[in-house]
């Protein structure tokens, strides 16, 4: 245990020192620590402060699921946060020196790359080594998938080969040049990592803070959904549900509790949390969204409360201590399966999956199963329910991007201090600006404006 503790401390020191410079270009000193055993490397992946939390919240803040009142907005500590909230074209992220989403993303990727290199360099083999390797691959993939939704355009198969993706760092050598891959190559790497991980991981782990095969299958389904590949999204959704299809019965929750949904509940497949940042902590819920829930829909009381000013606040967190859940849970898998079925023309099975989920969310004896006679109507139902079920789960920004690419024409509006801000469908600012200090230090191309 002392050895593992020393290894962890050394890695923390290395990462902390690296944060002060270009996180993608700083050369590391591999002599600082030698995690040469399976246990050492599992310990590195078990550091939830680096691995499981501080997923990006910048996309969630940019979405239409939340808003800030003028007081909230004026109290933001950095001008960059104010620019992010009003969809400005640049300078929307504080520098790495104070900590930002880019740093947290690539810090986790660095740890995963270090573990993968250690497994190879020290010839670690066997079931336990495969498990650790699979975790590192899946964790790297979910971080890249999280990042690509914030800093890249929506996936369009016709243009993905030319659209800008993320810099793909696949080893811990920080002295290697940082260049942006294509969006197509970024998604291909995510898929390759997840498929490799699925072959290595057990169906379940001792804790949902570790990545499992069931979780990796769900994340792969999410990846394919974002790409518009509904055949594969359905395939991996159903594979995940074979292992775990347990749903919380909201009738059994205490609607009056401050946080009615327990941490580590049976729906969570992988425990990962968004950074509960300054621009997300005071967030309010639009009244129009709140009013879209029927009175017999238990989510209306479980998800929301009203403050003294009559504003709607969110309380339906699947994680109530470290930030909103953005890992993956069973309810999302049901919704992906439902949408994919319907997009493939199978309305009956798609709505059956949606009804199976929804019945657990409504007051006993009041739920009337959804029905539709056309694919268009069925799709509208499932997309509406997807938004209502997965609010503040880090998915809405990506959904807006992919739906607008399909012609949904979602226009975002905000009013701040009497000034109106509008984000039109498919605007280039849907690919949020990469931090300017990263662009300066690496020479990478910034997102077009």
What's the pLDDT at 7?
A: 47
* Residue 79 and residue 66 in contact, taking contact as beta carbons nearer than 8 Å: no
Q: What is the mean pLDDT of the chain?
A: 93
Closest by alpha carbon to 394, among 135, 62, 140, 108?
Answer: 62
Walk along the chain (449 residues) and give the pLDDT tens digit of each residue.
444 444 444 444 344 334 434 444 444 454 455 799 999 999 999 999 999 999 999 999 999 999 999 999 999 999 999 999 999 999 999 988 888 999 999 999 999 999 999 999 999 999 999 999 999 999 999 999 999 999 999 999 999 999 999 999 999 997 889 999 999 999 999 999 999 999 999 999 999 999 999 999 999 999 999 999 999 999 999 999 999 999 999 999 999 999 999 988 999 999 999 998 888 889 999 999 999 999 999 999 999 999 999 999 999 999 877 789 999 999 999 999 999 999 999 999 999 999 999 999 999 999 999 999 999 999 999 999 999 999 999 999 999 999 999 999 999 999 999 999 999 999 999 999 999 999 999 999 999 99
What's the pLDDT at 277?
A: 87
**What DSSP state is assigned to residue 412?**
E
**16-53: per-residue pLDDT in tens?**
334 434 444 444 454 455 799 999 999 999 999 999 99
What's the pLDDT at 3?
A: 45
Determine the Cα–Cα distance for residues 12 and 35; give it in Å rounded to an integer.
13
What's the pLDDT at 32?
A: 52
Determine the Cα–Cα distance for residues 109 and 432; give it in Å rounded to an integer.
20
What's the pLDDT at 174?
A: 79
Secondary structure (3-state) at 289: helix
What are the residues facing 329 on neighbouring strands? 268
Instruction: Name every residue whose Cβ is closer than 8 Å to that of residue 257 and which is 6 or more positions away in sequence.
Output: none
Determine the Cα–Cα distance for residues 20 and 17; give it in Å rounded to an integer.
6
**341-388: per-residue pLDDT in tens?**
999 999 999 999 999 999 999 999 999 999 999 999 999 999 999 999
All structural domains of the chain, each given as residue ranges with its CATH number in brackets, are: 2-249+324-341+374-442 (1.25.40.390)
Determine the Cα–Cα distance for residues 311 and 303; give it in Å rounded to an integer.
14
Whole-model pTM: value is 0.92
Say how many Å lie between the first and final Cα of the chain, rounded: 51
What's the pLDDT at 70?
A: 98
> How far, in Å, are 53, 91, 270, 312 from residue 49 at the CA level?
6, 27, 15, 30
């Amino acid at each position: 245990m002392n050895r593992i503790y020393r290894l962890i401390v050394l890695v923390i020191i290395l990462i902390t020192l690296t944060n002060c410079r270009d996180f993608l270009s700083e050369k590391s000193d591999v002599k600082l620590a030698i995690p040469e055993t399976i246990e050492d490397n599992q310990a590195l992946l078990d550091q939830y402060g680096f691995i499981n939390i501080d997923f990006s919240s910048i996309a969630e803040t940019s979405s239409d699921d939340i808003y800030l009142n003028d007081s909230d907005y004026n109290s933001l500590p950095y001008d960059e946060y104010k620019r992010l909230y009003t969809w400005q074209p640049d300078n929307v992220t504080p520098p790495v020196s104070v900590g930002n989403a880019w740093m947290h993303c690539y810090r986790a990727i660095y740890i995963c790359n270090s573990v993968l290199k250690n497994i190879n360099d020290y010839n670690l083999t066997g079931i336990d080594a495969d498990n650790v390797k699979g975790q590192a691959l899946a964790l790297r993939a979910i971080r890249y998938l999280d990042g690509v939704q914030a800093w890249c355009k929506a996936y369009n198969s016709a243009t993905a080969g030319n659209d800008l993706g993320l810099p793909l760092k696949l080893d811990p050598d920080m002295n290697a040049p940082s260049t942006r891959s294509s969006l197509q190559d970024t998604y291909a790497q995510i898929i390759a990592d997840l498929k490799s991980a699925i072959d290595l991981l057990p169906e379940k782990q001792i804790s949902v803070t570790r990545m499992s095969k069931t979780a990796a299958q769900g994340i792969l389904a999410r990846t394919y959904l974002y790409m518009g590949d509904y055949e594969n999204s359905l395939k991996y959704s159903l594979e995940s549900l074979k292992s775990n299809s347990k749903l919380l019965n909201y009738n059994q929750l205490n609607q009056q509790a401050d946080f009615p949904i327990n941490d580590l509940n049976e729906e969570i497949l992988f425990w990962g949390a968004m950074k509960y940042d300054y621009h997300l902590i005071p967030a309010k819920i639009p009244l129009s969204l709140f009013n879209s829930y029927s009175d017999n829909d238990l989510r209306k009381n479980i998800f929301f409360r009203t403050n003294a000013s009559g504003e709607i606040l969110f309380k339906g967190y699947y994680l109530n201590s470290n930030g909103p859940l953005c890992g993956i849970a069973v309810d999302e898998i049901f919704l992906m399966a439902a949408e994919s079925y319907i997009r493939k023309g199978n309305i009956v099975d798609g709505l059956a999956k949606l009804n199976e989920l929804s019945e657990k969310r409504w007051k006993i004896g009041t739920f009337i199963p959804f029905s539709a006679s056309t694919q268009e109507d069925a799709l509208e139902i499932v997309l509406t329910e997807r938004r209502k079920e997965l609010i503040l789960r880090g998915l809405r920004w990506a959904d807006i991007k992919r739906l607008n690419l399909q012609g949904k024409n979602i226009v975002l509006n905000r009013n701040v201090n009497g000034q109106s801000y509008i984000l039109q469908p498919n605007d280039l600012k849907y690919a949020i600006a990469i931090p300017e200090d990263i662009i300066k230090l690496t020479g990478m191309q910034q997102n077009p404006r």
